[in-house]
Amino acid sequence: MCNKLKYFQEKNARKLAKKSDTTFDRLPPVLQNSKIATLVLKALKKDQYMPAIVFEWNEAGFNDVLTAPGFRNGSSGQSKAAIITNLTTNKATSYNDVVFTFPNGNAIGAWIGQIRVNIPWAMNQPGVPNVCTSVTRINRITECDTGTPAIAFDLENHPNIFYHP
């Protein structure tokens, strides 16, 4: 691929990297995807002060039973759509079912806290592919002196969001 074309395709991911005080190569792989990076930038522009979670869904985690494609454990209620409904029911705003913004950090914590009760089947299970490959939390950094949001983002990888000890 031509270097100019590659650079153009990576433009929004590079912009996201710059806002996160990192380089393109150090972004989580899901955020190196130009379409995902563009979606993240749009979501965080619209919901300026909101934290976000970016899911890299693992379709194999919803297709572990050959006779029931799209459903975890072969059960019709155990789907990616059910997790997305759970997210939006718990105050998340969905952007293409990949990026989810929350009103504040406490709302993310409350969502995580109810996973074991309301969608326990989404937890990582031995011998079953996980429902997502990665989960990245994005927080807008605030200015220490004024408490106003800066243009910078803090990225945190949360690979164990569905971890079951």
Q: Which of 153, 26, 144, 128 lies closest to 78 in space, CA to CA?
A: 128
pLDDT (mean) for 134-141 = 83
Domains of the chain, residue spans = 48-157
Per-residue model confidence as pLDDT tens digits over 25-49: 999 899 999 999 999 999 988 887 7
The confidence score (pLDDT) of residue 156 equals 75
Assign residue 75 a region (left: φ > 0; alpha: ψ between -120 and 50; beta: otherwise): beta
Q: How far is CA 89 from CA 10, 63, 72, in A?
A: 33, 24, 20
Which single residue is written with the structure tokens 């109810």?
Answer: 114
Confidence at 147, pLDDT banded by 50, 70, 90? low
User: Are the beta carbons of 34 and 11 closer than 8 angstroms?
Assistant: yes
The confidence score (pLDDT) of residue 63 equals 95
pLDDT (mean) for 104-128 = 93
- What is the pLDDT of the chain when averaged over all its residues? 86
Q: In this prediction, what percent of the chain has a pLDDT beyond 90? A: 56
The confidence score (pLDDT) of residue 65 equals 95
Q: How many helices (H) and strands (E) does the chain have?
A: 6, 5
Q: For residue 62, give the amino acid letter.
A: F
Which single residue is written with the structure tokens 């380089």?
Answer: 23
Beta strand segments in 49-165, E: 52-57, 93-95, 99-101, 132-142, 149-157
For residues 159 and 92, what is the distance between their CA atoms, to the nearest angstrom? 19
Per-residue model confidence as pLDDT tens digits over 37-80: 999 999 988 887 789 999 999 999 999 999 999 999 999 999 99
Confidence at 138, pLDDT banded by 50, 70, 90? confident
| pLDDT at residue 142 tops 80 | no
C-alpha 9 chain-centroid distance? 21
